[in-house]
Amino acid sequence: MIGPGRARLPRGEGPWPWLAAGSVALSLLLLAGLLTLLAVRGMGHFWPSPLTLVTLEDGRQLAGQAVREERLPGGEKRERLYRTANRDLDGAIWRWVAVDEIAEESRPRDLVVLERTRWGTFQGRLLALESAAGRVEGEAAWAALQVRLQELAALRAERDRLRDEVVPLARRLDRDPEADSQLARANARIRVLQARMGGTRLLLESVDGRRLEQPLEQVLRAWRPNAMSTPQKLAAWGQGVWRFLAEGPRAANTAGGVWPAIFGTVLMVLLMSVVVTPFGVLAAIYLNEVAHQGRFTRLVRIAVRNLAGVPSIVYGVFGLGVFVYGIGGTLDEWFFADQLPSPTFGTGGLLWASLTLALLTLPVVIVATEEGLARVPDHQREGALALGATRVEMLTRVILPMTAPAMLTGVILAVARAAGEVAPLMLVGVAKLAPQVPVDGDFPFLHLERKFMHLGYHIYDVAFHGDDVQAALPLVYATALLLVLVILVLNLTAIFLRHHLRARHGALPRR
């Protein structure tokens, strides 16, 4: 008997529904926690954090952004880590300060942050701006600096555009007689722009009184974080996120953006999908619709499922030996012998990386498509054949449309896995730095032999190969968030398209 007020689970179910629901809830919480951590640590990097002027008990001063605070071992004392920048003055950009040694903290509005192409950021005060027109000091120097930075940004954009044109022109020198004159004009224009960018200097001072002369052409941006309002900080944050998405990396990948990595990742996944989809679908059709269902077919299915569990680095070794050295080396001997020993296809590149990942994800597409084919009722096949359709017409007009949701699921799962793979790419074509994307205006426009950047490898390189991991950590979080969002978008796309196809062709009952 069940007493009054006690709820009873349905017969035969027991605690399993609750365990299943708890597992789903835990998975969602873990996913939300991961995204929150990546968003706070990554996107917070672009927020203009305030600068704190710290005065120690002995009278020394430093300016920086408080990063974290830790307890010293063996006692109650604590120390705080500040990002002080000014690598050219101090040799480092971090400084630990004992909390009990701090006499005063303030946030002066005149403290300036400069983002530079060399030596990283500078934090201190702007004293004067010197140019051919004269010397400007005080607030007038700050206003003149903002105007001059806008002019420099336009000159720098035109110079970079011309530099992008120089590389294709240099490649066409042997076969295009006009390329030489065009290259000379582009280089002359670049020299003129470079001369216009120079000639202006900033006189800077750190908070401890040391002065520095800074060429303005090496300064990218300048701001006063303590004097910015909330709307101004929001605008600066949005501009920082956009630069992260649209610009290329610099300073050994510890600064700048990830646009080449985004482009390389998406292009590689698209090429991989074009290769793996027809082969995976055709293999599944053969195994389920054509081949005799005997012992050999069962062994093939077992082999395909086992291939899905092979470590990805093994596929990288296979791609290096077969695609790069085997096929690529043969192509170089046949068509590019005059360029040897410098390989064209006999080295890692976009094509070999795409083929390697297509081979890696092929079992996923085969298994998903074959499961979809197996769920199509036999009376659908028999009805089509009874109405006079051939086997090819039955497959293309009846079976494959009903299997499209399963095929799409397999392809998107393959895309999601390929987008996050790193180990095989390290052997078959990914590069630490490849600012030139493998698509340009030079024939054949898509250059499959070139190396490329990848978001996953970019995370690995910045996290483990940088000189200052602490400085690069926010970029690691931001890039990881971007990669997770790409994979989530791909999976959501699969769900919506699968729902659309199921609604169009009808849900398939389980056999």
- Residues 373, 328: one domain? yes
Which residue do the tokens 């799409």 mark? 408
Residues 76, 138, single domain; the answer is no
Q: Looking at the structure, do residues 97 and 121 belong to the same domain, yes or no?
A: no
**How far is the first Cα of the chain from the last one, in angstroms, to the nearest whole number?**
39
φ, ψ dihedrals at 466, nearest 5°: -85, 160
My answer on whether 215 and 351 are in the same domain is: no
**CA–CA gap between residue 198 and residue 192 (Å, rounded):** 10
Domain hosting 189: range is 117-236
Q: Which phi and psi (to 5°) does residue 387 adopt?
A: -85, 5
Q: pTM higher than 0.85, yes or no?
A: no
Q: Which two tokens stand for residue 2?
A: 């069940």
Contact 448, 267 (CB under 8 A): no
Same domain assignment for residues 344 and 450: yes
| 3-state SS assignment for residue 14 | coil
Within this chain, do residues 123 and 75 fall inside the same structural domain, yes or no?
Answer: no
Q: How many residues does the chain have?
A: 511
Residue 242 lies in a domain: no
Domain-embedded: residue 26: no
Same domain, 91 and 175: no
3-class SS at 430? Answer: strand
Judgement on whether residues 302 and 446 belong to the same structural domain of the protein? yes
Pair 98, 133 in one domain: no
Number of folded domains that form the chain: 3
Q: Is there a single domain that holds both residue 99 and residue 128?
A: no
User: Under 8 Å CB-to-CB from 285, ≥6 apart: which residues?
Assistant: 369, 373, 395, 400
Q: Tell whether 382 and 490 lie within a shared domain.
A: yes
Tally of CA atoms within 13 A in the half-sphere of 155 that contains its CB: 21
CA distance 82 to 475: 18
Q: In tens digits, what is the pLDDT along the chain, a chain of 511 residues?
A: 444 545 554 555 667 788 888 899 999 999 888 888 888 888 888 888 889 999 988 888 889 888 888 887 777 788 888 998 888 888 888 888 888 888 888 999 989 999 988 888 899 999 998 888 788 888 888 988 998 999 898 888 888 888 877 777 776 766 667 777 777 888 888 888 888 888 889 999 998 889 999 998 888 899 999 999 999 999 999 998 998 888 888 776 777 788 888 888 888 888 998 899 899 999 998 888 888 888 888 898 888 888 888 888 999 999 998 898 888 888 888 888 777 777 878 888 888 999 999 999 999 999 888 888 888 888 888 788 888 888 888 888 888 888 887 888 888 888 888 888 888 888 888 888 777 777 776 666 777 888 888 888 888 888 887 777 777 888 889 989 888 887 777 777 767 777 776 676 654 444 4
**Residue 96 and residue 130 in one domain:** no
Residue 333 within a domain: yes
